[in-house]
Amino acid sequence: MTEIKEVTIRRARREDVGHIIAMLADDPLGGPRERIENPLPQSYFRAFETVDRNPNIQLVVAEDGEGAVVGCLQLCTMPGLSSQGASRGLIEDVRVASHCRSRGIGEQLVQWAVVEARARGCNLVELLTHHSRVDAQRFYERLGFARSHVGMTIRF
């Protein structure tokens, strides 16, 4: 058994953007969509400011005992009329640094998001995971998610 790594989940700050993009890029599906340059393209920082100002979106990072950013997740809570006017939560962009996987960090991030969504009045949390990410699907099932829906996308 690998050791469980206790992390602190905290709101992302501007200085975390580089670490977050590095994790988003270190992925067979997401990688080709990012641009890792020095300095990073300004579009990342503009997006961070927009996320940071939006009270319904929480971009968080997992920080280990040494202060290193080792994971990230974005939660969006959305009001809506269905289910008697309950809100819904959407989890996106879950990543754990490759050298820190299988130590329960993703689990702590997702469980944080579920608790937070519930505290914000959501009666449902949803997410889309690419059909090729079979391990991710098993991971979410272990945390209580059901493979209830087909996730459909159109990309421009």
Task: Report yes or no: 155 and 128 within 8 Å, Cβ to Cβ.
Answer: no
Residue 11 touches its own copies, criterion: CB under 8 A: no
The answer to whether the peptide bond before residue 32 is cis (omega within 30 degrees of 0) is: no
Q: Which is nearer to its own copies, 48 or 112 (CB)?
A: 48
99 touching its own copies, by CB under 8 A? no
b/e per residue 66-93 (b: at least 16 CB within 10 A): eeebbbbbbbbbeeeeeeeeebbbbbee
Among 2, 38, 39, 153, binds its own copies (CB under 8 A): 153
CA dist., res. 29 & res. 25, Å (int): 9
- Kindly tell me which residue out of 5, 104, 107, 118 binds its own copies, with binding defined by CB under 8 A: 118
Residue in 51, 63, 104, 107 binding its own copies, rule: CB under 8 A: 51
H/E element, 87: strand 87-96
For its own copies, the binding residues (CB under 8 A) are: 17, 20-21, 24, 30, 33-35, 41, 43-48, 50-51, 54, 56-57, 59, 74, 76, 78-88, 90, 92-93, 114, 118, 122-131, 137, 140-141, 143-156
